[in-house]
Structure 1
Amino acid sequence: MSSTGQAAEVHLSIPADSAYIAVPRSVVGNLAARNHFTVDAIDDLRIAVDEACALLLPQASDGVLDCIFYIDPPQLTVRTTATVPNGWLPDTDSFGWTVLTALVESAAAESESGRLTITVTASATASEKA
């Protein structure tokens, strides 16, 4: 949420290198905390973003990972995108995908024009009910 209480977007591009995964994890933690997510929900969202990044990293053919954080209280949506080899999709039967989908309200992967996007969404109100 912006300081005016309105919806906001944060854009982040990092090198597709595991040394930089802490950056989107920290950003999503900060944004979730500012938007009244519980401590457990913040941890879950951080792990989900970490898993989304980890799935894309080995495939990021241009060496860049883009993250867009959409804050529209009470929801927080993170779209993690990378250029990937033609036709590559994450294995939705993998342990990483299972972890990712268990931690958020929704998760999806979509491919368009050689770029794969993994989108995760969580809600502060859902975390209050947990």
Structure 2
Amino acid sequence: MTEHTETPAVDMGAIRDVVSVRLPAASAYLSVLRTATAGLAARLDFTLDEIEDLRIAVDEACAMLLTQAVPGTDLTAEFELTGQLMQVSVEVSTVGSAAPKRDDFAWMVLTALADDVDAVTDSPDRMAIVLRKRRGAARPA
């Protein structure tokens, strides 16, 4: 006689994947990050428009950070995928840099393309920009 055990249902919304990418803090390598962003967003079934928004937002965040990055250091990106949400954190080493100005055009682009944007400067020698985008979230008119 065989015993039947029921496998518990997996809540796909609770699965959390984290992908980290480290590359030289130079604009020549940003195409790698744009490609990773698009691939990971597609994994969450983001629409083509949402994927393109994320690619542009990540590119813009990196461009803002690279102007303050210490030459010869790395840019790190962490992609966290949870259910319908993608969070992207890009970070560089800096020397005494201030947080990005929230009234700059670049910041306005970021906030238009992502659902939530924040700059993190917890340490005087590191800066990060964190973007969050939820699949299917309505963009402001």
TM-score by length of 2: 0.83
Structure 1 CA distance for aligned equivalents of residues 83 and 63 of structure 2: 27
Superposition deviation, residue 64 in structure 1 = 1.1
The code of the aligned residue for 2:118 comes to A
Alpha carbons 2:68, 2:97 under 8 Å: kept: no
Give unmatched runs, 5+ long, in structure 2: 1-11
The percentage of counterpart residues that share the same residue type is 39
Structure 2 CA distance for aligned equivalents of residues 126 and 14 of structure 1: 30
Higher mean C-alpha displacement, 54-63 vs 14-23: 54-63
Q: Deviations over 1:20-57 (max 9, x none)?
A: 01111111100111111011000001000000000001
1:43 aligned onto 2:52? yes
Between structure 1 and structure 2, the one with the greater Rg is 2
Q: Decide which of 115, 126, 130 is 2:137's aligned counterpart.
A: 126
Runs of 4+ in structure 1 over 3 Å off: none
Alpha carbons 1:110, 1:117 under 8 Å: kept: yes
1:10 aligned onto 2:19? yes
Structure 2 CA distance for aligned equivalents of residues 65 and 43 of structure 1: 21
Give unmatched runs, 5+ long, in structure 1: none
Let me know the Cα RMSD of the aligned residues: 1.9
Q: Secondary structure at the match of 1:125?
A: coil
Q: Secondary structure at the match of 1:120?
A: strand
Match of 1:32 in 2: 41
Match of 1:94 in 2: 104
Alpha carbons 1:67, 1:81 under 8 Å: kept: yes
How many residues in Structure 1 have an aligned counterpart in Structure 2?
A: 126
